[in-house]
A and B are shown apart, each in its own frame.
Chain A
Amino acid sequence: MNPVLALRGVSKNFGMTAALTDMTLELFTGEVHAIVGENGAGKSTMIKIMTGIHQPSSGAVEVDGAAVVLNGSKAARLRGVAAIYQEPMVFPDLDVTENIFISATSGLLLNRPAMRRRARELIARIGMTLDVDRIASGLSLAEQQAVEIARALSQDVRVLIMDEPTASLSAHEATELRRIARALAEDGVSVVYISHRLEEVFELANRVSVIRDGKHISTKLITETDPQTLIAEMVGREVGNYFTKMPSTATSETLLSVQGLGVDGVFQGITFDLKRGEVLAMAGLIGARRTDVALALFGMLKTTSGTVTYKGAPLKITSSREAIDNGIAYVSEDRRKMGLAMALPIRWNITLATLQKYLSPLGLINTGAEVATAWDYKQKLNIRTPNTDIAVGNLSGGNQQKVMLAKWLNMAPDLLIVDEPTRGIDVGAKAEVHALIRAFTAAGGTALVISSDLPEVLALGDRILVMREGRQMAIIDHADASQESIMALATGQKDAA
Chain B
Amino acid sequence: MGLISRLSPAALRILALLAVLAIVILFFAAQIEGYLNGRLFNRISSSVAIMALIATGQTLVILTRNIDLSVGSMVGFAAFATGSIITNNPDLNPLILLLYSAAVGTAFGMVNGALVAYARVPSIIVTLATMALYRSFLVEYSDAKSITTSGLPAWLTDFPNLPVFSIGAMEFRAGFTASLVVVILVHLCLTQLRPARQLFAVGSNPEAADMAGIDAKRVVFAAFALSGLMAGLAGFMFLARFGTITVVAGLGFELKSVASSVVGGVNIFGGSGSVIGAFLGAILVDLLETSLVRWAVVSEFWREAVLGALILAAVATDTLLSRRLAKLRAKKGDSK
Binding site for B on A (CB under 8 A): 51, 53, 72-74, 76-78, 83, 89-94, 98, 102-105, 107-110, 131, 134-135, 138, 151
Contacts and interface: CB of A to CB of B under 8 A. Distances in A.
Contact of B194 (A77, A89, A90, A107): A107
24 contacts: A53-B211, A73-B211, A74-B214, A74-B215, A83-B211, A90-B205, A91-B201, A91-B204, A93-B203, A93-B267, A93-B271, A94-B197, A94-B200, A94-B201, A94-B204, A98-B200, A102-B197, A102-B201, A103-B213, A105-B194, A107-B194, A109-B194, A110-B191, A134-B333
Contacts of A90: 205, 208
Contact of B208 (A91, A98, A131): A91
A134 B9 CA distance: 10
Q: Which of A92, A107, A134 has the most CB of B within 10 A?
A: A92
A489 B272 CA distance: 44
B200 A108 contact: no
B271 A102 contact: no
A94 B197 CA distance: 9
B211 A108 contact: no
Contacts of B193: 108-110
Interface string B205-235: 1011111111100000000000000000000
B195 A108 contact: yes
Contacts of B192: 109-110
Given A93-B203, A102-B214, 4 more contacts: A108-B194, A109-B194, A110-B191, A135-B9
B330 interface: yes
Contact of A91 (B194, B271, B333): B271
Interface in B242-283: 267, 271-272
A91 B9 contact: no
Contacts of B214: 74, 102-103
A110 B211 contact: no
B322 interface: no
Contacts of A78: 213
A138 B330 contact: yes
Interface size class of B (residues with CB under 8 A): 20 to 34
A448 B115 CA distance: 52
A93 B270 CA distance: 9
A89 B205 contact: yes
A198 to B, nearest CB: 27
Contacts of B212: 73, 77, 89, 102-103, 151
A77 B208 contact: no
**A-B pairs, 7 with minimum CB distance:** A74-B213, A89-B208, A93-B271, A91-B204, A93-B272, A93-B204, A103-B212
A151 B214 CA distance: 14
A92 to B, nearest CB: 6
A51 to B, nearest CB: 7
Q: Which of A91, A104, A135 has the most CB of B within 10 A?
A: A91
Contact of A77 (B195, B203, B213): B213
Contact of B213 (A73, A98, A134): A73
Contacts of A107: 194
A446 B243 CA distance: 78
Given A102-B201, A103-B212, A107-B194, A92 B9 contact: no
B198 interface: yes
Contacts of A53: 210-211
